[in-house]
Amino acid sequence: MMIDRYSKPVYNIALNFCKNPEDASDITQEIFLKIFRNIDKVDDKFNFTSWVLRVSKNHCIDHWRKNRKNYNIIEFSEKTFGGDDTPEKNFVKENDIIILRRMLMQLKPDAKLLIILRDIRGHSYKEISEIMNIPEGTVKSGINRARLKLAEIYRNGN
């Protein structure tokens, strides 16, 4: 089923655009409603996964723009993260994820999405180009600029 296949990537994009898991769940539901309402508009030149992720991206950016003042400070609880590692490894991993998410919240939406799609989700430049509907060269340069901005944020104490 479509929801089983796409719920995790859609949720992860939403979680990286908002401040808590509950908001991300709500946004994910909104995205799937939008997908179901517009499924007849899928463009055959793109694959379905790219279309789903593009709808997710656009919805999250719209949501962020409407609610950006609510997302200045990010708070994650321990239940946000899971894993089969030792408690020590989980603690380090959780702290790294919290730091990364705080830093991502300081990026503009398109830069944030480029980092999420490439460095977190592992999409190819071509896939990102299709998802964001921009040329591959723009994807590569955007990712480079976003990484440089993240490095600057990190140096300045995130």
Band (98; pLDDT cuts 50, 70, 90)? confident
Q: Are 125 and 77 in contact (CB under 8 A)?
A: no
Band (87; pLDDT cuts 50, 70, 90)? low
Mean pLDDT of the region 79-95: 55
pLDDT of residue 90: 59
pLDDT of residue 73: 38
Task: Report all structural domains of the chain as residue ranges with CATH numbers, in order of start.
Answer: 1-72 (1.10.1740.10), 106-158 (1.10.10.10)
Q: Are 18 and 63 in contact (CB under 8 A)?
A: yes
pLDDT in tens, 23-34: 889 999 999 999
Task: Give the number of residues written for the chain.
Answer: 158
Task: Say whether pLDDT at 10 is over 80.
Answer: yes
pLDDT of residue 80: 40
Task: Say whether pLDDT at 56 is over 70.
Answer: yes
Q: Are 51 and 133 in contact (CB under 8 A)?
A: no
Task: Say whether pLDDT at 142 is over 90.
Answer: yes
pLDDT in tens, 62-73: 887 787 666 543
CA dihedral 17, 19, 20, 21 (to 10 degrees): 0
pTM to 2 decimal places:
0.54
Distance CA 13, CA 57 (A): 7
